[in-house]
Amino acid sequence: MNKKSIEFLQILSISLIWLLFTGIAVWIVTLIRVSLKLHDAPDASVGISIVAIPVFFILASVLTYVFIGLRKGRKEET
């Protein structure tokens, strides 16, 4: 496998992780909306989302930071 295709796969995997975490955030927000519509103790749902969604985004950000940081920190090869 040549360098180009490996790079493409790496970028693809990072994007998929962001997609996954965004999906989780969307899921939690959907559940909050359902609980609001049904007046089913929405405060619990909101409370959880306030904690859970930032955690996932911190994780994705750290991963992206490492990915970009490692690429930038490479010795210049020309």
Residue 71 binds another protein, judged by CB under 8 A: yes
The string of DSSP letters for 5-73 reads HHHHHHHHHHHHHHHHHHHHHHHHHHHHHHHHHTTS-HHHHHHHHHHHHHHHHHHHHHHHHHHHHHHHT
Q: Least Å distance between CB 62 and another protein? A: 5
> Under the rule (CB under 8 A), what is the footprint of another protein?
1, 3, 6, 9-10, 21, 24, 27-28, 30-32, 34-35, 38, 40-41, 44-45, 48-49, 52, 55-56, 58-59, 62-63, 65-67, 69-75
